[in-house]
Structure 1
Amino acid sequence: MGSQGGMCGFSRVLLKRCLRLSNILIFLGGLTLLGVGIWTIQDKSFSTELIRNSLYLNTARVMTAVGCLTALLAVFGFYSAQKEVKVLHLTYFVFISVLLLILAIGAVLAYVFREQVELTLEAEMIFDVRHYDPDQPDSPVTWAWHTTQSKLECCGLMTSQVNQSWEIWRYNPILHPQGEAIWSVPHSCCIPEVPCGIYSDNITNIYTKDCYVEVKEFVSQHSALLGAVAVSIVGIQVLGIISSLALFYSIV
């Protein structure tokens, strides 16, 4: 009997250590998810007006909230690992299971968004080219185009109607009134601190990259990063769930 009790106590010590280690990793993962979510919301929101898909930022907001809750729950899990109280482990198990489910859904949504961008982004950007108004710099469309072109160092987008991406701006009725032969592009297309020449047959010293390609790659990479962090934390949470459940059943 004494030997069995000793083995049981030894295994419980191992389970406690495993749960503590799991929660340290979960805490670090939660902080990472929180940081990536805040970074995405603050620095990457400029492209959402052109994308016209709220799934991108909504997923980032959910991930940010879950990251914060995950870090807090990890602290509670670390505390519960110190205590042999079944109700603490049961509470931890329930909450971490809920967060795991939300994170798993969030990871799926992040990858689903990447597929949606492929289908809708070009049409939305072409639509916004026609509604760009340099006289209204605070309008969402104008602000989005200026910020996107400046940050990603691109100008316009390629379509079957143009030979250069910046030529798409000829279809903007304000930059090119009917009958106007002078080429013109938004000032955000111009390379900083370099004179941006506008001529009747050409434009010099402007960004030549395709904004459609740059935005698609930009949001796809960050969606993939968000999804990868979520999947990684889900894997760690599974270890925490197993450890907590095993410790729960080991407590008499």
Structure 2
Amino acid sequence: MSCFSFLKTIMFVFNAIIFLGGITVLGIGIWVKVDGGSFLKIIGSASPQLMQVVNVGYLCMAVGGFLILMGFLGCCGAIKESRCMLMLFFSIILIIFIAEIAGAVVVLAFSSLSQIFIDYIGTVAVKYLREDYGSDNELTTVWNTTMKEFKCCGFYGYKDFSNSTYYRNHQEYPPVCCSSVSPCQPNNISSEVKGCFKAFEHFLSQNGKIVGGVALGICGLELAAMIVALVLFCQIGNR
């Protein structure tokens, strides 16, 4: 087998996996939105904690659609030897790669700018917690799942819910902030329950090497995909 044929095979297999994965994720997203009841029964019987993810159907559909597009471009570009498809595939991966590098540079080199961004995110998060938590089902589900998994309360802390719509309607803080204690009042909230931002920072500090390894692995795969696509593009042009 020639080097060119080997690269075509690798490109096809790799993107076929991405394509099939995209179809699976898209199918799950459509299933969640169309028949959420049966999805809840199956997921709930397997893991009750995962019942809160039913409202991420649109995210699954978006991710699945993107994976299908990338897999299609990679597979067809390699098999049909289409330079246009290969270049489009290369360009999309390159844009994602540059965005990831730019984000890393901003976080590492411009801490003041990243702090401004974090402050902005915090302001928006607290605003939605106070105005929409408890009334917006999807937002409430996402926050409940996050607070359960990270054992946290609010963005900065439980006081984010003070004077909130939820507190005015129920005269207590979200039950997830107090575990099994009811009603959930400040004296029932453990001092160990921090804001989700602090909990996420702690998670990153404890699992930084794993997160960094996964990030480097993804960047490595993206770089390899770009190199293979570019090599195929050049060799097809020289044939």
TM (norm. structure 1) is 0.55
* Alpha carbons of structure 1 residues 74 and 17: separation in structure 2 relative to 1, 3 Å: same
Separation in structure 1 between the aligned mates of residue 215 and residue 24 of structure 2, nearest angstrom: 10
Q: Does 1:196 align with 2:182?
A: yes
Cα deviation digits, residues 139-184 of structure 1 (max 9, x gap): x5544433432344321233xxxxxx2233224265259xxxxx83
Counterpart contact for 2:76–2:85, Cα < 8 Å? no
Separation in structure 2 between the aligned mates of residue 230 and residue 31 of structure 1, nearest angstrom: 21
User: Aligned Cα RMSD in Å?
Assistant: 4.8
Counterpart contact for 2:133–2:166, Cα < 8 Å? yes
Aligned twin of 2:232: 243
Higher relative helix content: 2
Cα deviation digits, residues 36-67 of structure 1 (max 9, x gap): 89999x898979xxxxxxxxx69x93x64342
Alignment partner of 1:213 out of 166, 186, 198: 198
Mark the structure with the bigger radius of gyration: 1
Counterpart contact for 2:83–2:236, Cα < 8 Å? no
AA paired with 2:195? D
Aligned residues: 200
Counterparts in 2 of 1:10-21, with a 5 A limit?
13-21=2-10
Alignment partner of 2:144 out of 143, 146, 159: 146
Q: Aligned-pair distance for 1:98? A: 0.8
Structure 2: runs of 5+ lacking an equivalent: 33-51, 108-113, 205-209
* Alpha carbons of structure 1 residues 237 and 29: separation in structure 2 relative to 1, 3 Å: farther
Q: Aligned-pair distance for 1:203? A: 1.1
Separation in structure 2 between the aligned mates of residue 137 and residue 188 of structure 1, nearest angstrom: 17
Structure 1: runs of 5+ lacking an equivalent: 1-11, 48-56, 81-88, 159-164, 178-182
Counterpart contact for 1:110–1:226, Cα < 8 Å? no
AA paired with 1:196? S
Separation in structure 1 between the aligned mates of residue 130 and residue 200 of structure 2, nearest angstrom: 18
Percentage of identical aligned residues = 11
Query: Which protein, 1 or 2, shows the higher relative CO under an 8 Å CA cutoff with sep ≥ 6?
Result: 1
Aligned twin of 1:130: 130
